[in-house]
Amino acid sequence: MSNLIEFVGRVSSFGFRVISGGMRVPFEGGQILNHIIEAGYKSLPLVVPAGFALGTVMTLHTRNTLMTFGAGAMIPTVQALAFFVEIGPLVAGLLLAGRVGSGIGAVLANMRVTEQIDAIESLSIDSFKFLVVPRVLACVVALPLLTLFMDFAGLLGGYLAEYSSSGVSFGLRRSPVGEFRRAHAEDSGVRVHYRHGFVLFRLHDQHGSGGRGESRDQ
């Protein structure tokens, strides 16, 4: 229990430091943009095919079941519901954690071991603000955008799978998806993505400058 309280305290403290660091000058705009490109743009070749494949497979598997019960018209709605609320944020978060999060952890741990973080501190530069804050903010911005790419890639994959089975037109399939999106705009899960962006960074930073990992220099 005390470990849980300690963990919550550390994450809260981390969050406050990120927020306060992000509001102090210099704002590290260039660094944040670089990290958005690194975390977001360079993850597209991984996220888009993954979303496309998931959408295709999901449609192929759910189609038969729904058709059995005469609910074939629900296929686009089910897929939109699954992608926008759950699968998109979850899988995009996992992929980003695997590709970017581990990379961030490795970079910061390497900087710790090679005394680069000490060097930053010795130059009177706040290493947390310089190294950690831009990466957190980049993850918070990049993950929702990546999730949208994954969602639409999944819907496209689902449509193509459906089209290959039943020859349904794009307009006919698009309509229920649009209705779902309008009806569930409030709880679409995009808000959840911002939290995922923060959490995935926090977990991987444990081994870098912010945590108590083994690579922390003594």
The footprint of other proteins (CB under 8 A) covers 26, 114-116, 118-126, 218
As measured in angstroms, the least distance from the Cβ of 61 to other proteins is 44
Instruction: Please choose, from the candidates 5, 2, 13, the residue with its C-alpha nearest in 3D space to the C-alpha of residue 210.
Output: 13
Calculate helix-pair angle for 29-39, 133-166, nearest 10 degrees: 30
Q: Rounded distance, CA 156 to CA 4, Å? A: 42
Beta carbon nearer to other proteins, 66 or 126: 126
Beta carbon nearer to other proteins, 120 or 132: 120
Beta carbon nearer to other proteins, 81 or 121: 121
CA geometry: angle at 28 spanning 23 and 31, to 5°?
Answer: 140
As measured in angstroms, the least distance from the Cβ of 99 to other proteins is 18
As measured in angstroms, the least distance from the Cβ of 115 to other proteins is 4
As measured in angstroms, the least distance from the Cβ of 49 to other proteins is 29
Beta carbon nearer to other proteins, 118 or 179: 118
Residue with the two structure tokens 């995935």: 200
Q: Within a 13 Å sphere around the CA of 85, how many CA atoms are in the beta-carbon half? A: 14
Quick check: helix, strand or coil at residue 169?
coil
Taken as a whole, the chain contains a residue count of 218
As measured in angstroms, the least distance from the Cβ of 13 to other proteins is 15
As measured in angstroms, the least distance from the Cβ of 113 to other proteins is 10
Q: Rounded distance, CA 83 to CA 181, Å? A: 11
Beta carbon nearer to other proteins, 71 or 119: 119
Calculate helix-pair angle for 44-68, 88-96, nearest 10 degrees: 150
Beta carbon nearer to other proteins, 78 or 120: 120
Q: Rounded distance, CA 91 to CA 76, Å? A: 19
